[in-house]
Amino acid sequence: MKWFLSGIDAVNYWAGAILSYVLLLIVSVTAFEVISRFAFNSPTIWAHETTTQLFGFYIIMGGGYVLLCKTHIRVDFLWSRLSLRKRAIMDLVTFGFAFLFIGVLLWQAGEFGWRSFRMLEHTHTAFGPPVYPIKICLGIGVLLLLLQLIVKTIRDLHLAVTGVEDA
């Protein structure tokens, strides 16, 4: 079981590490556009859509990493006052809602990505890059988030039952 939990953690950790380089790419493309536009009066037609798609990829693929690092937004005024065991129990109570939401999101994202891939969808602009890769990544990102949620739930269950945090 620990092998499974560690494996999912590792996948989401590496996704987060790769995403840090995607952020550098976003900054580089944006800087290139700003310099081209204002220093050389030569704007590009591709920079805006490229940064938009890269940022979408960054947000979509980061959900599992954010859950791994425990940095999702939560209502801390009550949660932070609880013991670790009570926090785990509270998280277990809300797991059903999160699982239902992410399950529906995964189902819809899969259909959304598949439909876009079948028609090899592109944007309707002068640059016209393909959008189906980013729409396929939506399903992958939601799957990574779901897997990390399952890992967190297993750990919370272990903590709630045994009182020991390590699982």
Amino acid identity for residue 92 in this structure = L
Give pLDDT tens digits for 40-80.
999 999 999 999 999 999 999 999 999 999 887 777 777 77
User: How high is the pLDDT of residue 167?
Assistant: 56
pLDDT tens, residue by residue, 72-110:
777 777 777 888 888 888 888 889 899 999 999 999 999
Tell me how long the chain is: 167
What SS3 class is residue 122? strand
User: In this model, does residue 34 exceed pLDDT 60?
Assistant: yes
Contacts of 90 (CB under 8 A, 6+ apart): 79, 82
Is residue 13 one of the residues assigned to a domain?
Answer: yes
**What is the domain extent for residue 102?**
2-162
**Domains of the chain: total:** 1
The mean-pLDDT minimum among 22-36, 45-59, 65-79, 143-157 falls in 65-79
Residue type, 32: F
The pLDDT of residue 71: 84
128 domain-assigned = yes
Q: Tell me, yes or no, whether 9 lies in a domain.
A: yes
